[in-house]
Homo-oligomer: A and B are copies of this chain.
Amino acid sequence: MTETYRIGDLARLTDTKVVTIRYYESIGLMPEPERSAANYRVYAKAHLDRLRFVRRCRDLGFSLEQVADLAALSSDRQQSCHDVDSLTRMHLAEVEAKIADLNALAAELRNIGAQCKGGTTISNCRILEALDRSRKPA
B113 adjacent to A73 (CB under 8 Å): no
A98 pairs with B88, CB closer than 8 A = no
A95-138 CB mask vs B (1 if < 8 Å, else 0) is 11011001101101110110010011111110110011111000
| In the complex, chain B residues whose CB is within 8 Å of the CB of A106 | 92, 95-96, 99
The answer to whether A127 touches B52 (Cβ under 8 A) is no
Point out the residues of chain B lying under 8 angstroms from A73, CB to CB. Answer: 122, 128
B120 touches A74 (CB 8 A): no
Cβ B109 vs Cβ A92 within 8 A: yes
Interface of A is mostly: helix
Q: Does A80 contact B (CB under 8 A)?
A: yes
Contact of A60 with B by CB under 8 A: yes
A80 vs chain B, min Cβ distance (A): 6
Would you call B77 and A132 a contact (CB within 8 A)? Answer: no
| CB under 8 Å from chain B, chain A span 54-73 | 56-57, 60-61, 70, 73
